[in-house]
Amino acid sequence: MHCESSLLDAWQRLNRRIVRCARCPRLRAYGAEVARRKRRAYAGQEYWGRPVPNFGDPQARLLVVGLAPAEHGAPRTGRMFTGDRSGQWLYRALYKAGFATQPESLGRDDGLRLRDCAITAVCHCAPPGNKPTRDELLQCRPWLDELIEQLPLRVIVALGQIAWQGVVAQARHRGWLMGRAARFAHGAIVPLAGERWLLGSYHPSQQNTFTGRLTEAMFDGVFEQARHLLSSTADASADPDGCRSAV
């Protein structure tokens, strides 16, 4: 279909530009150093070593937004949330809710597909200490802006406070959220303009999962809610051109 191929083209063009991005010298230098140094367990692997592109369905109505790739996870494998424990939690939850074809993401050639779901981060490069600076987050913001522009989104799940703030800024900028304070909380649901919703979840970092702050049932509940909200909106896939209307 023409519409599907143009969405795919736009998706691929955006990812190519992200992968070449060098707006944050500190993060690019750090990424190169991590890729050169490697963790002993991955010594025989070639690290991706560049900004991590978006992953998923170019026609997704659900967007999952994380903070930043973990040092030896996505910057090694080249796929969002792949190669670390957070990813194990995320893909398992997406699979259970019907958004992923397999419960694990092992690498870029493992055959995993996301259905109606895409994954991104407010910072596409791994920052030292998992802490991007405010300037780095601002530099990376246009990539999220472009992604949101091209997807027919209905539900955005923000993993953690910093991702939440990034999405809220986007929603305000687009006039999807006005006036109200939108406080981050696990399980928060904020209606946005145009039959869209923002959902909050604790990030599935080890800091949260090992301590029991985030349980598997709590995390699954967020994606069950996303599934429920998507089923309750008009099915835009009924578009006569065979593609969901871009928003």
In this structure, what token pair is assigned to residue 4? 């599907």
Beta 196-201 vs 189-192: how paired, if at all?
Answer: antiparallel
**In the complex, least distance from residue 212 CB atom to ligand SF4, rounded to whole angstroms:** 31
Q: Is 13 or 113 the residue whose CB approaches ligand SF4 more closely?
A: 13
Element housing 159 (H / E):
strand 155-159
Name 159's bridge partners.
201
Dihedral of CA 64/65/71/77: which sign? positive
Q: Is 21 or 247 the residue whose CB approaches ligand SF4 more closely?
A: 21
Sequence length of the chain is: 247
**In the complex, least distance from residue 1 CB atom to ligand SF4, rounded to whole angstroms:** 31
In this structure, what token pair is assigned to residue 98? 């019907």
Cβ atoms of residues 162 and 111 within 8 Å: no
Binding map of ligand SF4 across residues 3-22, x = CB under 6 A, - = no contact: ---------------x--xx
- Residue 147 binding ligand SF4, by CB under 6 A: no
Q: Whole-angstrom Cα distance, residue 38 to residue 224?
A: 37
Strand order in the sheet with 55-56: 55-56, 117-121, 62-66, 155-159, 196-201, 189-192
Cβ atoms of residues 19 and 53 within 8 Å: yes
Q: Is 52 or 218 the residue whose CB approaches ligand SF4 more closely?
A: 52
Binding residues among 83-142 for ligand SF4 as defined by CB under 6 A: 123-125, 136, 139-140
Q: Is 96 or 141 the residue whose CB approaches ligand SF4 more closely?
A: 141
**In the complex, least distance from residue 119 CB atom to ligand SF4, rounded to whole angstroms:** 15
Cβ atoms of residues 169 and 140 within 8 Å: no
Q: Is 125 or 151 the residue whose CB approaches ligand SF4 more closely?
A: 125
Give the one residue of 6, 10, 17, 28 binding ligand SF4; rule: CB under 6 A: 28
Say how many residues touch ligand SF4, by CB under 6 A: 14
Q: Is 127 or 152 the residue whose CB approaches ligand SF4 more closely?
A: 127
Binding residues among 40-59 for ligand SF4 as defined by CB under 6 A: 51
Give the one residue of 7, 14, 27, 156 binding ligand SF4; rule: CB under 6 A: 27
In this structure, what token pair is assigned to residue 56? 């998923």
Q: Which residues bind ligand SF4 (CB under 6 A)?
A: 18, 21-24, 27-28, 51, 123-125, 136, 139-140
